[in-house]
Each structure stands twice: as C-alpha cells, then as structure tokens.
Amino acid sequence: MSIEIENLHFSYGMHEVLKGYSLSADCGEIVYVLGANGVGKSTLFRCLLGHLKPTSGSMLINGKPVGKYSPQELAKLVAYIPQSCTPSFNYSVRQIAAMGRTAHLSLFESPSERDYEITDKALEKLGIENLAESGICEISGGERQLALIARALVQEAKILIMDEPTSNLDYGNQIRVQSLMRSLAHEGMLILMSSHNPQYAIHFADKVSAIYNGVSVAFGDPREIIDASLLLKLYGLSAQVNDGLIIPALI
C-alpha cells in the first residue's frame, strides 16, 4: 500500500493553495505533515480523499489514480479522522464507531454480530469501552475525538489520514493515540497525519513533510530535517533542536 503525490496544484478560485506539492509514503510508515495554519494541509487531505479535484498533478493510491476509485472502493482503502465533528444526532459511541463498517456493507445491510465485535475491540483498544452506550453529544470533545478514531479503526482500511487528530485530547491521550498509531504502522498500516507539534513528529514519525507556501520544503527523517532553520521558516519560531528536543528561545 502506498501514496504517491507529484506536483499537486489546487486553487480556491484565484487563490492557489497547493503549488506543486509532492510526497511519497509506504505501508509501515507514519508520515507527519507539518506547517502553519492555512498552508494547505487540510486541502491536501481533501484532495486525497476525492472531496476536491486538483488543478493539476497526480495522486496515486496503491499505484492507481485517486479519481479512478469509486467512493466505496476508496473507503475500503482509506479511513479519515477529521479535527473534530459536530454531530447532528445523539448516537451512542458504539453506534458511531460501528459506522466505520459501512464500506463493507451493502446499501440496505445492517451491521452483523461480527461487525459489532470489531467495533467493541476498537473501543477497548482506545480505552473508551466504558463510553460505548454514552451519547456522542453527551461526552467531552476529547472523548468524541477518540470515538472518531475508533470509527476509523473499525473501517479496517490500510491507510489512515488524520487531520490534527489529537488537538482536542489531553496530554495523556495525545501520547496514547500517537503510540497506538506507531503500533498500527508496525503492523503494516500507512498513517498520514497533520500536526502542529514538531516535537511529536521527532518522537513518532518515520518521515516528515514540511509545507510552506504550498510546497514541500523538506521531506525525510524528522531527526535530520527538523532543525532551527526549518522551525523559523515554518512557524517564525526561534528555537534550538538538541538531541531531538526542541527548546524555544525565551521571549
């Protein structure tokens, strides 16, 4: 399983967001996409998911153009975890997670006992089995995010695309989720994740793609490419990187 993006361009009207972006990733890897707000991370993911049509460039998943997949075919390969969600109905956490099985069901088919067994295992893996019968509108934003991650795991796709998935989580759950993603990559999944935390990228990523002005300005091993000059370019942040530890300059 692989993702290959070459010279990708995308514009909202006259505003060009992606200006020749490229990236490659393979199964067994976690790739972090780093960059400031508004540089195109979410737009990149929406293009990969088939929600937006690029102006030009190529996007291949497992060697096949993204546009050649049907929505159901793509859903069997790629699961998406957004930054957050605002649910319209107060489904239970278990019901929300079980929705990940939709890609494996026919139009009018209901989840089977096996589908719910897969769902319950995902809830246990994330430590939220105690919330299974809680309404999605009645739990915290962080707990809701864990439910969305469970839904993605239940989908059993080989690629996970995660748009700042830990932004609403407390520190302990941030580390637990990052560690879980590391384990899933070791099991053969491909994890593509945007983040505002380059320190996490150093500790958990196999590769980092740094976006600035719509292009990838650095790509590779995080311990090799995340340095003071890159942090200054991406975030306007003065900092030192010593043995994998980012130390911001005091103001």
- The kind and range of the H/E element at 16 are strand 15-26
- pLDDT by residue (tens digit) across 19-33? 999 999 999 999 999
Query: How many residues belong to the chain?
Result: 251
pLDDT of residue 109: 85
Amino acid at 58: S
**Helices and strands: H and E segment counts in the chain:** 9, 12
- pLDDT by residue (tens digit) across 33-85? 999 998 999 999 999 999 999 999 999 999 999 999 998 899 889 999 887 77
Phi, psi (rounded to 5 degrees) for 209 = -115, 120
- pLDDT by residue (tens digit) across 160-169? 999 988 877 8
- The strand order across the sheet containing 64-65 reads 15-26, 2-12, 56-61, 64-65
Token output for 102: 């939709």
Among 148, 12, 19, 3, CA closest to 69:
3
- At 210 the three-state DSSP class reads strand
Indicate the pLDDT class of residue 251, thresholds 50, 70 and 90.
low
CATH of domain 2-248: 3.40.50.300
Among 125, 123, 122, 102, CA closest to 112:
102
Q: Is the pLDDT of residue 131 over 80?
A: yes
- At 22 the three-state DSSP class reads strand
* Residue ranges covered by each domain of the chain: 2-248
Phi, psi (rounded to 5 degrees) for 7 = 55, 50
What is the chain's mean pLDDT, rounded? 92
* C-alpha–C-alpha distance, residues 136 and 102, integer Å: 18
pTM of the model: 0.89
- pLDDT by residue (tens digit) across 202-243? 999 999 999 999 999 999 999 999 999 999 999 999 999 999
**CB 194 within 8 Å of CB 173:** no
The stretch 174-182 carries a mean pLDDT of 88
